[in-house]
Each structure stands twice: as C-alpha cells, then as structure tokens.
Structure 1
Amino acid sequence: MELDLADWGVPPEAQILSLTFTPQAEPGGGVLVPAALQQHLTKGPIAHVQRFVAWPLSGNPQTCEVTVGCVWLDSQAEVGMEPLVAAIESFSNKEYRAAVIPAMVAVEVKLNSVLAEHYSAFRAKKHAVDFLNDTPLAFQLDYLLPSLMNLVGAPPLGSEVTRQLKTLKGFRNDVAHTHRPMSGAATADALLSAIFGYRYLSLYGGRLSAGN
C-alpha cells in the first residue's frame, strides 16, 4: 500500500514534523495495535510517500480503516517558525545549548515584527525598527507590549512567561559568549516560554495593526 501525502494536501516542499497512524475498529471487532507514530524531531526527515506491508500479528488477516494525522511546516511559514522548530528539534535530541539561541531568535523576530508593524503606522518603518533595536527586550516585555495589548483588549502575556523570556535572553547571552552548559529542566522552562510567547504574539499581535 502506498500513501502519497501530496494527494491529501501536504505541499511537496513542506517539512513533515510528525505522522500518526491510528487503526479504527468496529465495535466488538477485536484488538488493534496501538497508534504508530513517526516524528521528524527524533528520527530524521519523514518521507512524503509512505509505503506499507500489512502483516497479521495472529490469526486471519483483517482489514480496517486507518486515520492518518500529519503535522508539517510549510516552506512559506513566517520567518520566526524556522528557528522555533530548530529549537524544539535540538531539545528533543538533548542538545540543550543548541536549543537556546534559536528559541530566543524566534521570539525576538516575532516580537519585533509585531511592534514594528504597529509603530510604522506613525513613523517610517525604518525608524520603528531602529527604535526597537535600541530598546532592551526587558523594556519591550515589561512596558511596550503590555500597554499596547491592553489598549486593544488582549489579555496580558503573564508575569511567569515574561520572567522566563527574560531568563531565556540571559541564557542566550551566556551560551553565545561563554558556552555555558544548560540543563534539560532549565532549557525546558525557557523553551516553553518561547513557544507560549510566540503563540501569544501570533494570536493577538494582529490586533495592534488592525487597531491603527
């Protein structure tokens, strides 16, 4: 049996992050094997064309439907998604130092994009970008972002996520300049804050430009 993911809407140039195959059984139809999972993050690139050979575990062969779940990263995804996925991949491979810098890059790219889009409604975008480049991340997280999000009715990012993002910035500087070792627990907290912060900006960032 052959499954070409392009036939089901997955772009040929997309990076497949995971595939899940879940057998479906009729009521009383017997025991099925658990769902099978392929993950790019731990097993290398996943092929867009999957080939299968059915083999009964016991007794007579039986047929059943299989639900296929696919998660992929489109080649046209926004710029910040690529370093975020790279950070998650490094963490999955227990390369904790390698996860820190791309995680911070993803958040900074997204945050600067959201804020620059808002401020460029009042000044030339170059001036907005220069202003943000000269503004420390802590100031952006503590003052600029909360005040602007409050004006458009978005919920706050949250003090714990804000604190962890500032911690991640410190980790990023230490890894870049002193090659500091990173524990799995510290990296997990920092990476989760990056994922949460990125998703927060994706969900609510558009309100800033819409409100201009």
Structure 2
Amino acid sequence: MVKPGPSQPGNRPDGPGNARKIILLALGLVLAGTVFLLPQFVSQPWIAGAPEDLPPVPEASPTSVAPSTAAELTRFRQESQGVLAEIVAMRDRLEQSQVERWAAPEFSQALDLVQAGDERYSYGDYEASLEQFRLARDRLAEIEKLGQQKLADALAATAAAIESLNVGVAASSIDLARAIAPQDPEVQRLAPRVDTLEQVAAHIEAGDQA
C-alpha cells in the first residue's frame, strides 16, 4: 500500500489571498460604477424648478385706501350717523302724531329711503347712504309740515262746526286734531266744547220748538 507523500508548498491553494482579491475587485467595480453612472442619474436638480423659475418675492405695496380717501369715508360715515339721528327723532314725533292716519303713503316712502340708506351703510358705501338719509330726512320734514297744516285745518273745521252746531264734523275734526297734537292749547280749548256740543244743540233745538 502506497501512502501519499506530503504536498508541495507551491501546490497548496491560498484561500485567504484569493478572497481578498475578489473583494478588492468588487470594490473597484462599485467605485467605477459610481464615478461613471451616478452623474447620469443626478443630472437634473433634485428640487423641481430652476431658481429662475421660482416666483419672485412680492414687493411692498401701499395700502389699498389712500389716507385722503379714508378721511373722506370717515366724514361721510359721521355725517350719515348725524342725519340718521335726526331721522330717528322725526320718525318718533310723527309716530306719536299718529302719522299713519293722515299721511301713511308719504311716511312709508320716507321709511323706504331710510332702509335703502341702511343697506348702503352696511356695505360701507357711506356717501350713498348719506344721500339716501338726506332724502329721507327731507321727506319726513315735509310730512311734519303737512301735519301742521292738517292740524290747522282740523282746528278751523272744528271751530266752524261748533258755530254751526254740526256735531258730526266737529267730532271728526277735533279727533284728528287730538291725534296730531293732543297737547296743543287750541285743541284743549275746543275739545270740551265739542264734547258738550250735542247737548248744546239739543237745548237750542228744544228752545226753538218751545
């Protein structure tokens, strides 16, 4: 039986040396791929849009309302409030005078103007609201003058009806006068005479028949 002889040093495989060569070769290939291939994948910028394509920074702009315009709007607003205060006082006086009995259509039209002014005021259109309020104030002033004229006419009709013993006309006339101005001195003077006019007329008629 022949025993194998000892192996020669030149024929023994160098395991660790070959593995090291393989690793170095692989690293070299990876490095070469990184150098030659990576620029092709990153040739485009990572952030979409070039710097020149980005929106510019907005420049500072002046306020939308000039100071002179703001001052004018403030003046219109203050004047509107002042006229509206007059309107409220006039409206209250007319309502106390039972205006709907003797000037209902005119009073309704004036209130429509007030409402139109309120709407424009709510939108900040103070100039237009001031115009509407002024129109409404003028209409209400005309109604107040009309009320004074109707009061004078009613008092004159009452006095004439008392003299002629016309109870019906006297009663309706003094009733209107009382509605318009219950505290008027002439109304308070004639009202008691109207209240007793029917009795006075009956006595006079009875005396004539006697």
TM-score, normalised via structure 1 length: 0.28
Relative contact order higher in (CA < 8 Å, ≥ 6 apart)? 1
Larger radius of gyration: 2
Q: Which one has the bigger helix percentage?
A: 2
